[in-house]
Amino acid sequence: MGSWKPLWVMVVLLLGAMPVWAQTTKPKPQSEAVPFRVIESPYYMIKNDLPDDRMREVYIRMTRMYEEYQQRTAGFSGQNRGMLNFELFTKKEDYYAAGGMPGSAGVFMSGGVRGSRLMAIAGEKNTEWTWHVIQHEGFHQFASAVIRGNLPPWVNEGLAEYFGEAIFTGDSYVAGIVPNDRLKELQGMISKDVSKPLYAMLTMTHAEWNGALDHKNYTQAWSMIHFLAHGDDGKYQKALVQFMNNLSAGANPQTAWTNVFGNDFTAFEKRWKEYWSGLKPNSTQYLYDEAAQRVLTSILARVVLNGQKYDTAEDFLKACEAKKIEIPLSAKNWLPVALLAEQLPVARKSGKWEIIPAVSGKSLQLKRTTKEDKVFISSYLTNGTSITKVTFAPQLAPTTQPAGTSTNTPTTKPTVTPTTRPTRPPGVY
């Protein structure tokens, strides 16, 4: 059995090639205003009406998204033995005509006459809000196919929001993000005593959840999952895995909870409130910084593989800012260079950069040194034509480091304000 993966030791194995863009065109229903095609990815059959450039990004994101679900839930997931269906519509009218839930931007529908369906509105351009919705609803589909068991609403929705907040970096996702606006919302709920009692959340039925669709419930569920995964230096991670395994085995949600955490709901709720009330703004800035470094590493790996060379990290960063970075569409490891737009400002503020030249058959590395003298190294491996592995980790601490000091995260957080999380519009999600 696996475990809830630590954030900084994630290693992502990449695919060797992009898909062949030969698709099967399905008969066009009368409700559809444009022709649709079906793209087969490693995990999904993607019905869509997007142009090739946008579809390439969808293909990559969906592949990495599924792999993130797999790695993060390895301790309690099963195996999916079939392809998952995903329908992506440029126009909301086509989405609704095809069965999308009115008022929603995306939805997962389990079972029914047409079988399980993951659907979303792509709009005229890919946005972070679009991907928050897809990452959220996509987890529901993954849970139905792979985790199974009787997941209570707070678990299913809490995990979905956890993955919804994750940042795509090209070759992976960085999860565990605590956006400032969401932290402020949660702390307001706690201070005003409008959060639900823990027992009420644990015992809420699907009918009760769906009857309200209250955004505060989503935020509280997200905070409970995040606390169990990361709170108190990972103290509850093993218990979370045990709890999920109890659910997967068919245990009643309340029984599964008491089996693992006991029945002192008040004490646990008190610690949950203390944890979130004490969290400061920018508490996960180091994860935004990690995401920026991963993006830079992924782009650098590809341009170097395509014959571009940079003597210094500053040369590379200036080329990125001047939009002189090109990754040919024919490249096996194509990524949208638009990923740099959000991450370059974060990268500039996150520390000093160096390129460590390749030695002894190893690829070059990116080194970042923060204002607090924390050092983070990212690198990649290649087989000559494809990127096979991308890694990120803090550099080992010197032997003179005070005992008990962790190198996993900065001991002092920078004051940089992270990118604002997409605002959730009202309605069904």
Could you report the per-residue pLDDT of 88-132, keeping only the tens digit for each?
999 999 999 999 988 899 999 987 545 689 999 999 888 888 999
Which residue is associated with the tokens 């890919």?
126
| pLDDT above 60 for 21 | no
How many angstroms separate the Cα of 127 from the Cα of each of 46, 109, 272, 339?
18, 23, 33, 11
* 46 pLDDT above the threshold of 70: yes
pTM for the model: 0.84
**Are residues 363 and 379 in contact, defined by beta-carbon separation less than 8 angstroms?**
yes
pLDDT in tens, 182-192: 999 999 999 99
How is residue 24 annotated by DSSP? B
Per-residue pLDDT at 374 exceeds 50? yes
What per-residue confidence (pLDDT) applies to 27? 39
Could you give the CA distance from residue 290 to residue 5 in angstroms, rounded to a whole number? 16
Q: With CA atoms as reference, report the closest residue to 221 among 193, 189, 263, 260.
A: 189
- Is residue 28 over pLDDT 50? no
Looking at per-residue pLDDT, the higher value among 272 and 390 belongs to 272
Rounded (10°) CA dihedral 90, 92, 96, 100: 70
Beta strands in 260-403 (DSSP E): 352-356, 365-369, 375-382, 387-394
Output the pLDDT for position 248. 87
Asked if pLDDT for residue 406 goes beyond 90, the answer is no
Mean pLDDT of the chain: 83
Q: How confident is the model at residue 361 (pLDDT cuts 50, 70, 90)?
A: low
Q: How far apart are CA 394 and CA 305, in angstroms?
A: 25
Domains of the chain: 7-148 (3.40.30.160), 180-278 (no CATH), 286-394 (no CATH)
In sign, the C-alpha dihedral spanning 190, 192, 195, 199 is positive
Look at residue 396 and tell me whether its pLDDT is greater than 90: no
The more confident residue out of 429 and 220 is: 220
| pLDDT digit string, tens, across residues 161-180 | 999 999 999 999 999 999 99
Whether pLDDT at 216 is above 70? yes
219 CB-near residues (< 8 Å, 6+ apart) = 161, 182, 185, 186, 189
pLDDT at 404 over 90: no
pLDDT for residue 34 = 52
> What pLDDT, in 10s, does the model give residues 259-318?
999 999 999 999 999 999 999 999 999 999 999 999 999 999 998 888 888 989 999 999
More confident residue, 402 or 151: 151
User: Range with the lowest mean pLDDT among 38-47, 351-360, 417-426?
Assistant: 417-426
CA angle in degrees (0–180, nearest 5) for 323-327-332: 160
How many Å apart are CA 131 and CA 65, to the nearest integer?
Answer: 10
**pLDDT band at residue 148 using 50, 70 and 90 as cut-offs:** confident
d(CA 68, CA 71): 5
pLDDT tens, residue by residue, 69-87: 999 999 888 888 789 999 9
Q: Are 31 and 71 in contact (CB under 8 A)?
A: no
How many Å from the N-terminal Cα to the C-terminal Cα in the chain?
32
